[in-house]
């Protein structure tokens, strides 16, 4: 099965670009004509005799009629969809590493396949949108906490998928631009409204400073994406790090790649270092911020997990500060019993930046410990502040 082009498209691809015809258009055949004869002449019962077949020949066209003007076929034009595919594939060539040919080829085929699905099948947008509207009603009005848990998670994943499909066309004009992430987050906030989480932001003005920095945050749930979207207006220039597996999620990975997200291969330390180096070049050139979850994976919401040192090594190498961001626990979600309250409250606090000027890579452990302590203290305070009161 050819997943990239249909048979008709393949014929168009190998068809010559321009075709013209200088020959005259052939004259159409003359209409059949039979000279009039008296009724019954040379016939029996109205039938012509066998010898009269010559009279039934069509009359020759007069040679006095001027020849028809030559008509040329219009030149072949490439369809708009094919031009878009070519442009995106060319852009992908510039940003994909050339070390491993198979990985590069797979990645390019992945992009073309996603675009064909987006451009060819309208049901890819109509069906998820209909499901989102349906789940919108269930999520908002459901009173059963267990049903709400599963429906809310499915609704959020579907809303993320629809957001990715909607945003991709707007990001084609400037692929791999970190400013494209604003399209993604604004659309996601609108679609995820029925989840009904109230977000409170504290000291987010500390992110407005126009400087390169490394932002570290705790990670508990997929809903952290919604939290980041709440204060991303203060992070107009930010590079996000995600695991490499996200790149191959249908449409979501494509939207992330187009919005400048960097994907880290956690199984390969050398590849991870290379990705962080690419992020370093970007944040230094554009005075952007690098957003990292130093825990590496989601925690259980009870306490912070140990930090990995990648973000802290990067901050020391470029001599830029660490800005800690702390999410309060999701008390309204019971991950063990699979329940979800109808309304949730979350607090996000941006702490004071931790300078790294004068530090060397020998001080990585000290920087990690200091950052962990201030974030753990704030996390415990937020846990008390957001914990629902039991009467």
The pLDDT of residue 65 is 56
Tell me how far the alpha carbon of residue 270 is from its chain's centroid.
Answer: 27
Q: What is the mean pLDDT of residues 135-158?
A: 78
The pLDDT of residue 26 is 52
Distance CA 45, CA 228 (A): 96
pLDDT tens, 257-314?
988 899 988 888 788 888 888 888 889 999 999 999 999 889 988 899 999 998 999 9
The answer as to whether 363 is a domain residue is yes
Distance CA 158, CA 161 (A): 5
Under the banding of pLDDT at 50, 70 and 90, the label for residue 52 is: very low
The answer as to whether 62 is a domain residue is no
291: helix, strand or coil: strand
The pLDDT of residue 85 is 55
Q: What are phi and psi of 289, to 5 degrees?
A: -115, 145
Best-predicted range by mean pLDDT among 29-38, 92-101, 138-147, 258-267? 258-267
Torsion angle (degrees, nearest 10) of CA 154, 155, 156, 159: 120
Alpha carbon distances (Å) from 11 to 8, 14, 17, 84, 230: 5, 6, 12, 19, 49
pTM of the model: 0.67
Please choose, from the candidates 81, 263, 259, the residue with its C-alpha nearest in 3D space to the C-alpha of residue 170. Answer: 259
- The CATH number of the domain holding residue 368 is 3.40.1130.10
Q: Range of 205's domain?
A: 195-386
Residue 164 is encoded by which pair of tokens?
Answer: 């990715």
The pLDDT of residue 29 is 53
Alpha-carbon torsion (378, 381, 383, 387), positive or negative: negative
Under the banding of pLDDT at 50, 70 and 90, the label for residue 347 is: very high
Q: What is the mean pLDDT of residues 215-239?
A: 90
Residue 196 is encoded by which pair of tokens?
Answer: 């009904």
- In contact, 197 and 268? CB cutoff 8 Å: no
The answer as to whether 330 is a domain residue is yes
pLDDT tens, 58-102?
455 555 556 666 565 556 565 655 565 565 555 555 544 444 544
The answer as to whether 277 is a domain residue is yes
- In contact, 110 and 99? CB cutoff 8 Å: no
The answer as to whether 39 is a domain residue is no
Say what percent of the chain tops pLDDT 70.
64
Q: Flag whether pLDDT at 196 surpasses 70.
A: yes
Distance CA 126, CA 264 (A): 33
The answer as to whether 21 is a domain residue is no
The pLDDT of residue 312 is 94
The answer as to whether 149 is a domain residue is no
362 secondary structure, DSSP code: G
Number of domains in the chain: 1
How does the average pLDDT of the chain come out, rounded? 77
The answer as to whether 345 is a domain residue is yes
The pLDDT of residue 143 is 72
């Amino acid at each position: 099965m050819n997943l990239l082009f249909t048979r008709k498209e393949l014929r168009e691809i190998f068809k010559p670009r321009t075709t013209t015809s200088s020959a005259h258009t052939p004259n159409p055949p003359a209409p059949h004509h039979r000279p009039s004869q008296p009724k019954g002449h040379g016939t029996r019962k109205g039938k012509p005799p066998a010898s009269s077949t010559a009279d039934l020949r069509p009359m020759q066209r007069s040679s006095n009629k001027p020849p028809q003007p030559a008509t040329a076929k219009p030149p072949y034009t490439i369809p708009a969809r094919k031009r878009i595919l070519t442009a995106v594939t060319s852009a992908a060539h510039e940003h994909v590493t050339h070390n491993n040919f198979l990985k590069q080829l797979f990645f390019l085929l992945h992009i073309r396949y996603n675009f064909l699905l987006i451009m060819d099948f309208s049901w890819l947008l109509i069906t998820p949108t209909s499901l989102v509207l349906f789940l919108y009603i269930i999520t908002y009005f459901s009173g059963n906490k267990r049903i709400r848990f599963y429906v809310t998670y499915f609704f959020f994943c579907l809303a993320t998928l629809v957001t990715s499909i909607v945003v991709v066309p707007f990001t084609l004009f400037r692929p791999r631009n970190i400013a494209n992430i604003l399209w993604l987050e604004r659309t996601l906030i609108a679609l995820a409204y029925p989840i009904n989480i109230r977000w409170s932001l504290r000291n987010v003005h500390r992110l407005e400073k126009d400087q390169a920095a490394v932002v570290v945050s705790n990670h508990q749930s997929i809903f952290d994406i919604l939290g980041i979207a709440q204060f991303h207006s203060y992070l107009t220039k930010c590079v996000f790090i995600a695991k490499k597996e996200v790149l191959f999620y249908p449409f979501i990975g494509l939207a992330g790649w187009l919005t400048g997200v960097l994907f880290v291969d956690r199984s390969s330390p050398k590849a991870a270092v290379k990705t962080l180096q690419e992020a370093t070049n970007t944040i230094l050139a554009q005075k952007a911020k690098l957003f990292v979850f130093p825990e590496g994976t989601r925690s259980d919401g009870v306490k912070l997990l140990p930090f990995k040192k990648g973000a802290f090594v990067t901050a020391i190498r470029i001599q830029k500060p660490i800005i800690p961001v702390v999410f309060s626990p999701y008390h309204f979600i019971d991950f063990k019993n699979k329940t979800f309250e109808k309304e949730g409250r979350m607090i996000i606090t941006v702490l004071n930046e931790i300078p790294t000027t004068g530090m060397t890579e020998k001080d990585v452990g000290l920087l990690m410990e200091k950052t962990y302590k201030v974030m753990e203290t704030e996390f415990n305070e937020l846990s008390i502040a957001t914990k629902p009161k039991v009467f």
